[in-house]
Chain A
Amino acid sequence: MFNIISLISGLLFGFGLALSGMVSPGKVIGFLDLTGNWDPSLAFVMGGGVLVSVISFRYILKRPTPVFGREFKLPTRNDIDKHLISGAVLFGLGWGLGGLCPGPALSSLAYGNPKIFVFVGAMVAGIVIAKILTGTFRKEA
Chain B
Amino acid sequence: MENFTPYSSLIGGIILGIASTLLLMAGRIAGISGILSNLIPPQTDDTMWRVLFIAGLLIGAAAYPVFGGDMTFLDVNPYQLSDNAHFVLLVIAGLLVGGGTYIGAGCTSGHGICGLGRLSLRSLTAVMIFMAVAIVTVFIMRTVLGG
Residues of A within 8 A of B (CB): 2-30, 32-42, 44-54, 56-57, 60-61, 65-75, 77-80, 83-103, 105-111, 113, 115-116, 118-131, 134, 137, 139-141
Contacts and interface: CB of A to CB of B under 8 A. Distances in A.
Given A97-B93, A127-B102, A51 B61 contact: no
Contact of A110 (B12, B27, B62): B62
A48 B23 CA distance: 17
A125 B105 contact: no
Interface of B: 1-6, 8-30, 32-33, 36-37, 40-44, 48-50, 52-65, 69, 71, 73-79, 86-87, 89-105, 107-109, 111-122, 125-127, 129-139, 141-142, 147
Chain A interface, >50% SS class: helix
A8 B56 CA distance: 7
Minimum-distance CB pairs A-B, first 9: A87-B104, A10-B56, A20-B12, A126-B98, A52-B17, A122-B94, A48-B13, A14-B60, A26-B75
A29 B127 CA distance: 16
A107 to B, nearest CB: 4
Contacts of B141: 96-97
B40 A131 contact: yes
A55 to B, nearest CB: 8
B75 A6 contact: no
B117 A50 contact: yes
Nearest to B23: A9
Contacts of B37: 127, 131
Contacts of A24: 73-76
